[in-house]
Structure formats: structure tokens, C-alpha cells
Structure 1
């Protein structure tokens, strides 16, 4: 039996991504929708990064973590959406075994890293509101860099065991992935070598790391809300809490979709529903995060608008300067 499994496993050198095969008449429309979302996500997050890096007024811990988050969102959509676009427009739905494992690993890294970055951002807001006099001392440059590095390192390390195990599984049932990217859940349904170990590791990692990060965020906001409520005027309470409203909105959006995708009861599980929820998880969040932060943060919104205007009018400015130079030389 083991020899048969091994033989079938070696035959699976590539997978077929079915994507939205159940909607054949909507392939072009879906391609245009995902293309627009992809371009807008890249543009929005790149603008955030460029704006924060180019303006010294935004060189604070909160915006440092926002740069990391924006870069992460770019990774999210770049890991998954380009291949989906190729499937939709060119029917190029094959992906090699190695590419599939790499895509799955990078996607899981992005998911885990975002949870830890959001935790670091919650800690930053806690220090800013609950310990404002010590904020610059506690949240210094070194601490911010360490928190960011630790978030990325944990993200890369804690998904390695599951990915290693799934990469060594025997895929003798089929090579067709009923998803729009190499999702671990979809791959596990194709495995015939047993997935108990992977499920146990996912459960342990989810409890120890996933729940811990969420619990730390909740604790941070318990202290934040407690401090805000102690302020005397309603205006002060609103102004203080507004500094973390963007982060709280992103946290609710991230964990809400995460729970919907990964923590639904098995009886309610449906691959088609899972694909729909994952679309929100992968494309909508990276699209909304720049909007949430830019619309809810007055300072960032003003500087972002200036950056956009400079970008739009830059060709005209260059043209005008060139004409003046030509005129001057002619004289």
C-alpha cells in the first residue's frame, strides 16, 4: 500500500487551480475586478509607504508599524492575486508542486505576521495613551525595530512545521485544488497520508500564538478604554481614542475574517463559502487598510493628499521647468 501511495505521490508534480470554475461566464468580469483591486491595493499601500518615508512629521512609532503593515499587505496580494489573474484570463491554471508549497508558505507567513504586527501596534497605542510621559523613552527606535523584526521572524518560523509536513504528504486522490490559490485546507483534502499531525500543530500554534496575540490586543484596549474613560471632557476622550480608532478597525476586520475563514464549525464548512470569505480576507483587507488609516488620521490624510498632488502634477512641473530652461538658453 505504501508503495502505491509513493508512486501516486511522485506522479503529482503539479497542481491544477480550479479557481472560480463554477462561474465560467464570469471569468472576464472576475479578472477585471481582481485586476482593479490588485492595482488599487498596490497603489494605496505604496502611497502610504512613500508618504510616511518622505515626511519627517510622520517618523513616529505608529507610522513605522504602518509601513510594515502596508508592505505586508502588498505581499498578501502579490503572493496570490497574479496567479489568479493568469488563471482567469489565460486559463493558465497549472502550478508546480514547489511553487504551490512556496505560495502556501508565504501566504501563511503574511497571515501570522499581520497578527503580531497588530499586537505591536496595540502595544504602541497602549503606551501612547496610558503612559504618555514615558512614550518617547519606551517606544524608542530600537524597541520599534525589535518588535517589527520579532513579528516577521515569528511569522516565518511558526508556520514552517505545518508546511514541511504538508509538503511531505502523499497526494494520491487528485491534483485539482478547489481554490484560487494553494490554500493549506484545500491541499489537506487532497492528501491521503493523514493530516492529524498537521491539524494538531495548527491547533497548538493557534492556541499558543494566535490566541495570545489576540488576548494581548484585548488587554491593551481594556487599559486604553479605562484610561480614556477617566478623562474629564468628552472632547478629550474623543480626541484621545481617535488616535487608535484606525488600528481597532483594522483589528476587527482582520480577526473577523480570520475567524470566519478558519474557525467555522466543520459542519458548516463549504469550500465555495471558504473561497468567498478568503477573497475578502486576501483582497478587501489590503484594499481597505490604506483607506482606513488615511481617512481616520487627519495628519496622514493631509500629507497623503499633498503627495498625491505632487505625483499628479510632477510631469507638468517638469515640462514647465524644461520650457523655461530652453527659453533661457535661447536667450
Structure 2
């Protein structure tokens, strides 16, 4: 009988709402956090480019099962567009493709905002992670291959001007999954006849998480340094002591796995009902306070997320069960 492979890392679970700094890629951020927590599993809810900062929710352990639900949540960005140039990447990193001496007035920018709210068609940037013929678009673009990504439907709930001065306009946008802020800058610049590209970008919300939940890399590193200070390097148990001290400092920074699901219908269960759900079986919901039918709903036991499933025909039917 083959030996069962031992899992690497700790069975730690929860969400770290990471305030990603400029210059760090999303994959690098996840790897860093996974290593610091020595977690078995880790993933993130929505890529942020290295030139963008802000909210990058990172899921550890059981929380990785809730990543799709966070990715589907609304996102808020603050971004600044510099007018007068369009670049290959639609941000400050790419080569300039087109220039213009024109600069739009505040009134001109305000006048086109309705064209970029609601359900719109948007063509993603050539330098994006979208796959074209099995290859990442940005890999093809870097090799000089032509990249033609079809326009797709995206949802933009609101787009407003924060400031406008000296050839730059700062915006705030609330949008749905799959929206590219760089494409907004490119398309607005073309419509205004002056070209444009993003020079600053920060994500402030990935629903249900926002900046109040966020932890910076500096805060994490300071907590680790203070926790490990004074532990002798030559002690036989130094490594174990350092790890124990690190985890004691970092684990309180995690939000509970269930925090990701608080905007979905909830059912409180216990006893026999909770045990039936653990086994993957449906439970009957009784009483006048029983929730309405829902394609996505959650069962909580003593305040902890037990399962995600469906409410239908007076039952909660689990699809994904969590270790509690």
C-alpha cells in the first residue's frame, strides 16, 4: 500500500487582507504570506499588477474554498490618468505608441463619464493575463506577436472624478469582475482625442474587504521582528521558538474564513443538523424565519462557517463543507 504523502505546512485558515505595495507582484505576495505563515494552502482573490497598490485578499487553508465568492464581489479603484500619450501597456511601464498636444478640460472629461458606467463593452489590454490560443496575452505581446482580444461585457457601477489638474485626472471607479482600469484610461483618452494612460492605481475595496481590514508588509515584518527578538540563535530549539513566536504574532492578523461570506444568506445550525451537513446531507429549514430560496447561501455553526450551498424547497443543500 503506497504511503500517504505528508502535507507541508500548517493547517492554518483565514483571510489576510494584504495591502500590497508597489513593485510586488500578486504571485510574489501570496508566496511571501504563505511562507511567513507556513500555510498548507494559499491563494488570492483578484490579481493586482506590480504597478498597482492596495487590497489583495489572500486566503489561507480552508479560506481558499471561498476565493471564487470574493472574486465575484465589487471592487473599488482610485486611479490617475495622464493625458497626452497612449502606451503599449496602457500604463507608465510601456513604450509610447501615440502622442497628442491636446489636454481635456474638466467639463470634457465629465461629459463622457456616462459612456463608461453601467454595462459596457470593453477590450482588455494586450498586456494582460487573458489567454489567447492557450498563451497568456502578455507573453505574446512581449514576443512581438499581434494580440487581438475580443471586447467583453463588464459592469461599472460608478465612475467619478476625484481631481483634475495639469494634464492629469484622478478617478474613483466601482466595478465588477473582469474590468480593466487601464482599458478605461485608454478608451477615454481616445474618445477625448488626446490619448491617455494610467500612472497611479490603487485598489481600496474587494467586497467584503476594504482598507480598514488591511495589513501592510511593514506591519507584518515589524510584528515578526519584535516576536523573534531575543531568541538565541545557538539554542537547540531556536527555530521552533522563532516559528512559535512568529505565528503568535501573525495569526491574530487573520480574519475568520466566514468573513468572506457575510453578504450571502446565512443559516445557523447546530447539533444533528450540523452533523448532517458535515456528511454532505441536506437539512430541513423550518419556521417563519426560514430564509428565502438562494443559489448561494452559508451554514454557520457557533459563528464559524460550516458549509456553502443552496437553499431550495425548504432545505439547505451543502456543496462545500469546511473543517471547523
TM-score (norm 2): 0.24
Question: Could you say which structure has the higher strand fraction?
Answer: 2
More helix by share: 1
